[in-house]
Amino acid sequence: MHPGLIFDLDGTLIDSLPGIAGSLNRALESQGFDSHGHPDVRRFIGNGSYELVRKALPEGSPDATILSVEEAFKQDYALTWPEGTAPYPGIPELLETLSGRRLAVLSNKPHPFTVEIVARLFPSVPFDPVMGQREDLRRKPFPDAALWIAGKWASPPAECLFIGDSTVDLETARAAGMQPVATGWGYHDADDLRAAGAASVLAEVSDLAAFLAVA
């Protein structure tokens, strides 16, 4: 029996940095705040939209300001994300080779965006379930959603692989008792992943394909 495969979304399956940065900067500028270059926004991604905005605003910004900019970001992103979001090269082909295996997506992106993006970019991939950040389950790195997925599959967590590009994904896998698989083409540097305890970092999509072929 092959293990179940839980994939992170941003920085793992899709390059969404251009779309996120565009919407974030428009939201910031609309309320009088400075914008950020892609290298900075890259560092902000991974903990959900609230944390994305909090990190982009001046330190100590009040919660009301964060929520206001976050809402502006969500409204813009809902309309514009397709302009700056695409699968990483090789990912669609990799997913095609996984037919018949249990596949899921677990992201800290707001749930409606996660569902819409996966449906649009991977319409033939049988991900079940697709989960973004929801109010009823704590976001990564808490293990709640990962364990919910394992329960849906009736799979022991130890028989699931959690595949992602961030230290948050590593922490989630460990908290859930799953095997972490660190990828190196996303938004966290390989050195940071190794410092966080990744035994190895798969540098290319082809490396992940080779790993999963024997997993």
**Residues tagged active-site:** 8
Tokens of 97: 């080779």
The CB density around residue 98, as the number of other CB atoms within 10 Å, is 17
**Residue 176 near residue 155, CB atoms below 8 Å:** no
Nearest to residue 136, comparing CAs of 154, 152, 118, 148?
Answer: 148
Q: CA-CA distances (angstroms) from residue 41 to 1, 6, 114, 192?
A: 40, 25, 19, 17
Rounded CA separation 177/107 (Å) = 18
Burial of 191 (0-12, 13-18, 19+ CB in 10 A): exposed
3-state secondary structure of 156: coil
